[in-house]
Amino acid sequence: MSRRYFAKKVLQAILTILAIAVLNFALFRMLPGDPINTLLPKGPAATPERKAQLREALGLDLPLWPVNVVVTEAGPRLEDFPQSLTENQFFLYMGNLLTLELGDSLYARKSVAEVIGERIGPTLLLVLTAEVLALFFGLLIGIRAGWKRGGVFDTVSINTSLILYAVPLFWLGMLLLYFFATSNGLNLFPSQQMVTAGATFDNPIELWLDILSHLVLPATTLALGLLAGYALIMRSSLIDTLSEDYITTARAKGLKENSILRRHAIPNALLPTVTLIALTLGYVIGGAIGVEEVYTWPGMGSLIVDSVARKDYPVLQGIFLVITISVVVANFVADMAYGVLDPRVRR
């Protein structure tokens, strides 16, 4: 891999993160409503003086930008605020990001990093488990379907994958919940939360067994949605690879079909899947929100829903930043891996 290729991808990632940071600041300040009204609902304590004190303590009394749009007879013009450039919400926000300071939650009254840290573990457990399951079974299904194109397995698997790809994950989750976690169904797995409420455990093994029993349905729901995409891409990629000249040459040399599949077809057909894994990370997080709500899984998804209802802008900003930077980093890693696997993109 050339230094030029590496430097180009690093620069692209940095510029993308900067653009995300600016968008992250502006986006949540466009939302309707005033967080002060959420913190101080109507009542004797919600006096104008108390609201003003709280607004000043949170820095919400500062102007948003270092410039102001003034409408005159000659038209709108930009005009500097009389305060210093640092005395505005934007520069304070960007300065805090450089020191990895995400601010404090308006609702929980503790740091955003602490709030997110409490929820990111369950989400990582759910997402990583679903990713591993989806990759393993999705690639196997795609390889089998592409290798035996037109067969019964190919027909059944491709149609099933298309259905799973189109089904909303929250709806699929409700179906699995009804059939496998309720008294009307098989009642095989717990239906809610990550750990049995009120349960006591004598050792860590019992705790993890309880967590795994709660993980089965949400991880399966998310994995089924991901599996379909991986199976479809792998099948299509393998079919294209099998039509290449080097596959025909390998067959002409008398190589066994299994050897052609393992040594030549699969390694080259995997290249598009590497990119897909990174691109679907955002989809995984989005799907996890619905899945976590269905199963009351205490992760980032439920935190997003709660923070929107509470108008907790700092937490929303922190979550948005963490998720988008994760997607950028995943795409950067995919670019590096693609550059190693395919010499044609290294220039």
pLDDT at 70 over 90: no
Beta bridge partners of 229: none
pLDDT value of position 1:
58
- Average pLDDT value for residue range 253-263: 85
Residues 162 and 123 reside in one and the same domain:
yes
pLDDT at 69 over 60: no
- Confidence band for 246, pLDDT divided at 50, 70 and 90: confident
Does residue 24 fall inside a structural domain? no
The CATH number of the domain where 127 resides is what?
Answer: 1.10.3720.10
pTM, entire model: 0.78
CA atoms within 13 Å, Cβ hemisphere of 151:
12
The structure tokens listed for 307 are 């923070």
Residues 326 and 264 reside in one and the same domain:
yes
% of the chain with per-residue pLDDT over 90:
6
pLDDT value of position 214:
92
Residues 6+ apart with CB under 8 A from 131: 223, 226, 277, 284
For residue range 294-331, what is the model confidence (pLDDT) as tens digits?
898 888 888 888 888 877 878 888 888 888 888 888 77
Domain extent for 172: 112-345
pLDDT value of position 31:
67
The structure tokens listed for 256 are 């066994």
SS (H, E, C) the chain: CCHHHHHHHHHHHHHHHHHHHHHHHHHHCCCCCCHHHHHCCCCCCCCHHHHHHHHHHCCCCCCCCCEEEEEECCEEEEEECCCCCCCCHHHHHHHHHHCCCCCECCCCCCEHHHHHHHHHHHHHHHHHHHHHHHHHHHHHHHHHHHHCCCCHHHHHHHHHHHHHHHCCHHHHHHHHHHHHHCCCCCCCCCCCCCCCCCCCCCCHHHHHHHHHHHHHHHHHHHHHHHHHHHHHHHHHHHHHHHCCHHHHHHHHCCCCHHHHHHHHHHHHHCHHHHHHHHHCHHHHHHHHHHHHHHHCCCCHHHHHHHHHHHCCHHHHHHHHHHHHHHHHHHHHHHHHHHHHHCHHHCC
Does residue 327 fall inside a structural domain? yes
Does residue 314 fall inside a structural domain? yes
pLDDT at 29 over 90: no
For residue range 34-43, what is the model confidence (pLDDT) as tens digits?
667 766 667 6
% of the chain with per-residue pLDDT over 70:
84
pLDDT value of position 220:
93
**pLDDT averaged over every residue in the chain:** 80
Number of domains observed in the structure of the chain: 2
Which residue, of 49, 78, 101, is where some domain finishes? 101
Closest CA to 3 of 288, 338, 336, 285: 336
For residue range 113-142, what is the model confidence (pLDDT) as tens digits?
889 888 888 988 998 899 899 989 999 999
Residues 179 and 229 reside in one and the same domain:
yes
Residues 86 and 127 reside in one and the same domain:
no
C-alpha distance from residue 195 to each of 113, 192, 214 (Å)? 23, 8, 7
- Average pLDDT value for residue range 78-102: 69
Cα–Cα distance, 161 to 165 (Å, whole number): 6
Does residue 254 fall inside a structural domain? yes
For residue range 261-293, what is the model confidence (pLDDT) as tens digits?
888 888 888 877 777 776 676 667 766 788 888
- Confidence band for 111, pLDDT divided at 50, 70 and 90: confident
